[in-house]
Each structure stands twice: as structure tokens, then as C-alpha cells.
């Protein structure tokens, strides 16, 4: 079994009081295109423990919002105000990243002060340097002008750990880079699901993002991470289609329209079903829209109907499996849960999950939204902040930020004064 303790520096390894600390957050959030208002505060909340731990430090916050060319690519000024309201401490916003005024503000900080710098992706040195060119990052103005001002670099941007960008990895060979509380918790909890002894172990993969779910399904089963995978939503539909079920023209068209690579995804699903017989657990019945009819998946689905939810037989089967589990990971709703008449499957599966004694980990925006709506978030052992990073990590892909943190520990272990 893989080691569950982190192999990088954590905040418990150093005395950070009175030190000047660079804190890389991920507060990238949905933005109302009309009002510019930030929608949702979950990512802000995820960093409060790290910020609280640094209450006696001089803290400089670095983050990003969206990327060039997107409508929500904007300043972090509103983000600084939002975070200030959440933590109840003053945050001074500086609309520069490494200008003389920004450096002057950092140099004149007192213990307990917090500064937030401008959106790092406003600068080409963040977005244009190849991820494998650490030397070029180290020679950038971004790194050369900021690195001398800091004692430590705390990286807490878990949703971005699959990105190799200057603000995330560019300093790791120059000063100790430390995992923040969020990154530490995410890695420990996700590794506990991947490598822990709890059995049987199931993943619930549903929703409409089939590419990610298929990738995780293959990885989980090839590596024998899980006993089985429960499917729903469009994820369930593509596996049903791959298994030879007639899911109806409207459902096939949805998959084809939203996935240009649908033919290759279908082939991957067929291979998974062939290589891991009985491991992909698919809906046995469904609720259709607009008719509201309940049908068996052994029947041909009418071409003008959408599979909108799992049926009662499937709910009963899935609930039984969940009750037997020792560990469960859930990502994605069972159907069009936003519409009340098609929310039963998602509600019942989440309720069964919340009632389980298993290790319970949830991820994905729709899953967390449903948990919050049902008031069951606190029943989870862990709610992951990651999107693409979560899928990539669970799939066993290399994580550039974690690799940088590990290398930083190898470089600076024994060379710095810890606690």
C-alpha cells in the first residue's frame, strides 16, 4: 500500500510567525456576467484554515481568475473584498503583481497584515512560459522581483495542482515551498480513498462530463482501486449505449453533440466493460422527460424522450450497494436534479450516502451544490475543491505542483530551521 502521509513540507514543519509568506490560493470563481458579482464562496471558505494559521505572519495573497479571452477574466479587487468579509480581517488590494509599488507595499508590511496582489494571469510570464521550463520561470521578472521579499512560499491552490505555471511552481527551487492546509487535507483524504484499507470500495460517477468520468473509471478499475463503479446521468447513458442498450436518439444526439470524440469514448467504454465484467454498475430503469414515464433499460427508449433520472429499482439497488460499502467517492448527479420531478434519484442516492458509515468523499460542483441544498455537506468526510485537478489526481496522472513541493522538500530538508 502507498504511504498516506505527505512527502512534502507542511505548515506544521515551520515557525511562520512574523515571517513574510507568499500564499498562492485558488479563488477562481463563477462571475455574474451582468453585475460582475462573484457567485459562490466555497473556494474562499476552503482557504480560511490556512489563512488563520498565518494570523501572525505577513501574508501576501496571489491568485488568478479565469484566463485571457474569457468573459470572466477580471481583476481580483472584488475577490479581496469577498475574502475580507469572510475572514473578518482587513485585506489591502494592490492592483499590480511585481511592480515597484507592489514590492514596496510588501516590504513595508507589519505582522498580521494581509495584501492581495493582482490576477497573476494578467501577466504573460504566468501563462506563456512552458510548464517544463523551470529555468525560464526562475529568470522571469515575476520570480526575480518577488522571491527576495519572502521567507516562505505556501501553495494552497489544490484546484490548480495539475497546472505548471510560474505562480505555482516557479519558486520551489529557490526557497522552501510548503503545502497549505487545504492541499495537505486534499492529498491525505484522496489518498486514503485510493490506497486505504476500507472495503468494499465504490465510486459513484455520474453527471454530464463523461470524458473525465470514463478516464477515472478506466484508471480505478485497471489499478484495482475500487470494487465497482456506480453510474448515472449521461455517464450511465454512454455505458448503457456501449453495452448495446438502445438509449434513444435524443440521448445519443446529446452525447454526440457535446463530445466530438464520442466514437473513441464509446470504444473505451466497450473496452472497460469487456476487461472488467460486472464492475460497471448501470441503471436498470429510468424516468423520461417530458412524459415522466418510468421505463426499464431493457426497453427501447423513445427517440423523442430524454433520460432524466434513474428509476426506483435502480435507486433501491444503488442504496443497497452504498449501505454495504467501506468507502465511497461520489462525483456527479443521477439526472436533471435541478428540476424537482427529476431530482429523486440524486436526492435518494445522496441521502443513502450521507447515512452510510463508510468513508465518504464528494467532488464536483453539481455534487457539492446538491449536498448543500440537502443540508448534508457536513455528513461527508471530505468535500474536494478540485475540478479537473481532482479527476487528474484520482486518475494517477502526474501533478506538477505536488512534484514541485516534493522537490522543494528534497532540496531544503535539513537546510532550514523548522519548528
Binding residues for ATP: 338, 364-367
Residue 86: alpha-carbon gap to chain centroid:
21
Residues annotated within a binding site for substrate = 26-28, 43, 64-67, 121, 163
Inter-residue contact 418 to 14 (CB < 8 Å): yes
d(CA 214, CA 272): 9
Q: From its phi and psi, is residue 287 left (phi > 0), alpha (psi between -120 and 50) or beta? A: beta
Which residues are within 8 A (CB) of 140 and not within 5 positions of it... i.e. 6 or more apart?
Answer: 125, 129, 166, 170
Place of cell 532540496: 411
Inter-residue contact 8 to 412 (CB < 8 Å): no
d(CA 76, CA 46): 17
Instruction: Name the percent of the chain in helix, strand, coil, to the closest 5.
Output: 45, 15, 40
Tell me the three cell numbers of residue 369: 451544490
d(CA 358, CA 383): 14
Say whether the peptide bond before residue 200 is cis (omega within 30 degrees of 0): yes
Residues annotated within a binding site = 26-28, 43, 64-67, 121, 163, 338, 364-367
Place of cell 426506483: 312
Amino acid at each position: 500500500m502507498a504511504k498516506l502521509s505527505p512527502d512534502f513540507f507542511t505548515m506544521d514543519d515551520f515557525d511562520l510567525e512574523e515571517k513574510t509568506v507568499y500564499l498562492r490560493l485558488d479563488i477562481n470563481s463563477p462571475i455574474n456576467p451582468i453585475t460582475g458579482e462573484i457567485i459562490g464562496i466555497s473556494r474562499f471558505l476552503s482557504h480560511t484554515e490556512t489563512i488563520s494559521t498565518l494570523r501572525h505572519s505577513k501574508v501576501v495573497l496571489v491568485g488568478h481568475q479565469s484566463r485571457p479571452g474569457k468573459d470572466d477574466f477580471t481583476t481580483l479587487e472584488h475577490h479581496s473584498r469577498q475574502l475580507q468579509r469572510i475572514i473578518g480581517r482587513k485585506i489591502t488590494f494592490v492592483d499590480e503583481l511585481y511592480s515597484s509599488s507592489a514590492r514596496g507595499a510588501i516590504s513595508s508590511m507589519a505582522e498580521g497584515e494581509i495584501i492581495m496582489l493582482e490576477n497573476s494571469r494578467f501577466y504573460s510570464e504566468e501563462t506563456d512560459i512552458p510548464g517544463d521550463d523551470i529555468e525560464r520561470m526562475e529568470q522571469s521578472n515575476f520570480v526575480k522581483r518577488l522571491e527576495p521579499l519572502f521567507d516562505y512560499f505556501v501553495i494552497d491552490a489544490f484546484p490548480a495542482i495539475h497546472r505548471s505555471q510560474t505562480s505555482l511552481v516557479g519558486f520551489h527551487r529557490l526557497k522552501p515551498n510548503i503545502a497549505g492546509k487545504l492541499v495537505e487535507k486534499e492529498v491525505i483524504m484522496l489518498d486514503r480513498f485510493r490506497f486505504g484499507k476500507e472495503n468494499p470500495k465504490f465510486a459513484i460517477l455520474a453527471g454530464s462530463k463523461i470524458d473525465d468520468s470514463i478516464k477515472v473509471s478506466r484508471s480505478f478499475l485497471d489499478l484495482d482501486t475500487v470494487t465497482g463503479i456506480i453510474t448515472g446521468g449521461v455517464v450511465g447513458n454512454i455505458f448503457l449505449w456501449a453495452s448495446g442498450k438502445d438509449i434513444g436518439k435524443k440521448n445519443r444526439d446529446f452525447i454526440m453533440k457535446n463530445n466530438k470524440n464520442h466514437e473513441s469514448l464509446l470504444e473505451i467504454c466497450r473496452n472497460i466493460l469487456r476487461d472488467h465484467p460486472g464492475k460497471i454498475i448501470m441503471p436498470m430503469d429510468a424516468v423520461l422527460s417530458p412524459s415522466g414515464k418510468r421505463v426499464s433499460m431493457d426497453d427501447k427508449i423513445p427517440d423523442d424522450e430524454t433520460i432524466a433520472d434513474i428509476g426506483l429499482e435502480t435507486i433501491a439497488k444503488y442504496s443497497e450497494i452504498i449501505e454495504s460499502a467501506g468507502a465511497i467517492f461520489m462525483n456527479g448527479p443521477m439526472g436533471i436534479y435541478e428540476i424537482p420531478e427529476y431530482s429523486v434519484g440524486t436526492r435518494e442516492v445522496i441521502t443513502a450516502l450521507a447515512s452510510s458509515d463508510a468513508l465518504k468523499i464528494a467532488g464536483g460542483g453539481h455534487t457539492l451544490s446538491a449536498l448543500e441544498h440537502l443540508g448534508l455537506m457536513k455528513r461527508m468526510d471530505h468535500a474536494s475543491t478540485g475540478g479537473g485537478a481532482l479527476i487528474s489526481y484520482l486518475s494517477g496522472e502526474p501533478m506538477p505542483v505536488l512534484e514541485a513541493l516534493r522537490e522543494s522538500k528534497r532540496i531544503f530538508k535539513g537546510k532550514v530551521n523548522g519548528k
